[in-house]
Amino acid sequence: MTASALETRDALANRPRLARRPLIAAGMVLGMGLGGFVDGIVAHQLFQVHNMLSARYPTRGVDAETLAVNLEVNMFWDGLFHAFTWVLTVVGLFLLWRAIRQSHVARSGNTLVGSMLLGWGLFNLVEGIINHHILHIHHVIEGPGHLPADLAFLVFGGALVGGGIAMIWADGGRDLEMKA
Amino acid sequence: MRKLSQYVVAGWLLAPASAVACPWCGSAISEQVRAEILGGDFAANLAVAALPFPVLLAIVAIVYFWPANATSRERPETKP
């Protein structure tokens, strides 16, 4: 091996280690916020299969006046849900901004995207387990026979978590640091 | 201009017949909506609606503050 090749190898081996943890945390929070928006926009508004408290204030099988009241009540709590996801997104952006301004923090697109997928998946798992299965404040598709859709929501969340971890792992292994 | 004023008057006359459902306006339904939102279940509903978010932030905090040496391992350098 030539001297220059040895020098190159030593230089590569002695590269400073970059922290990935701030980037992963930022990506996770950003993914949670944006994942919440996906839930709110797609399920609550576009397909209207459920609302935030639609198991308590049903919008199916009720008379017109009750429907009007329950829709308004659900709209209020949907708004609050979107406010929370908005706050998460802003916190995620703040963390990302802070992370990329630090010279010792890795700037890896794969780690960031993987972290966002991880955050989105965690959002689905936590929201699904708490709201659909423990508190029963709503279900993915409201009404009798809601379990398959609720479980599919969890499976989708698990797949996002798995995909996100795989991307983070592929980018730097188990280490929460990577070479520059 | 005369036609426009006719439309305005017609609209004004027909307006009370239309349903008004918003939490903060003065219709009968809006009072029901307000009562349901701000009634005795408000704190409980707020708590259950907000519950996933501190759990999610706690998970991020665990990832962020987990001791570095528990997850980060130096790769062994190869000898020349």
pLDDT in tens, chain B (80 residues): 667 677 666 665 555 556 666 777 778 888 889 999 998 899 999 999 999 999 999 999 999 998 766 554 434 444 44
A80 and B49 within 8 Å at the Cβ level: the answer is yes
Q: What is the pLDDT of residue A132?
A: 97
What confidence tier does A173 reach under pLDDT thresholds 50, 70, 90?
Answer: low
B51 and A135 within 8 Å at the Cβ level: the answer is yes
Facing B55 at nearest CB: one of A72, A130, A176: A130
Q: What residues contact residue A9 under an 8 Å CB cut-off, 6+ apart?
A: A1, B80
Calpha distance B65→B54 (Å, rounded): 16
Calpha distance A141→A40 (Å, rounded): 13
Predicted-complex ipTM score: 0.85
Q: What residues contact residue B50 under an 8 Å CB cut-off, 6+ apart?
A: A80, A84
Facing B32 at nearest CB: one of A13, A52, A69: A69
Calpha distance A106→A176 (Å, rounded): 10
Distance from CA of A178 to the nearest CA of B (A): 10
Q: What is the mean pLDDT of residues A49-75?
A: 93
Q: What is the pLDDT of residue A8?
A: 67
Give B18 or A39, the one with higher predicted confidence.
A39
Q: Are A176 and A104 in contact (CB under 8 A)?
A: no
Q: What is the pLDDT of residue A75?
A: 95
DSSP A178: E
Q: What is the pLDDT of residue B69?
A: 61
B49 and A52 within 8 Å at the Cβ level: the answer is yes
- Detail the DSSP E strand segments found in chain A: 17-19, 177-179
Q: Are A55 and A77 in contact (CB under 8 A)?
A: no
Per-residue pLDDT tens over the stretch A21-36 = 999 999 999 999 999 9
Facing A88 at nearest CB: one of B53, B71, B72: B53
Give A2 or A124, the one with higher predicted confidence.
A124
DSSP A6: H
A1 contacts chain B (CB < 8 A): yes
Per-residue pLDDT tens over the stretch A113-128 = 999 999 999 999 999 9
Q: Mean pLDDT for chain A? A: 91
Distance from CA of A177 to the nearest CA of B (A): 7
The number of C-alpha atoms within 13 Å of A29 and in the hemisphere containing its C-beta is 27
- Detail the DSSP E strand segments found in chain B: none
Confidence check: pLDDT of A154 > 70: yes
Share of chain A above pLDDT 70, in %: 90
The two three-digit tokens of residue A37, written as one number: 């928006």
What confidence tier does A18 reach under pLDDT thresholds 50, 70, 90?
Answer: confident
Q: What are phi and psi of A102, to 5 degrees?
A: -95, 130
> Beta partners for A179?
A17
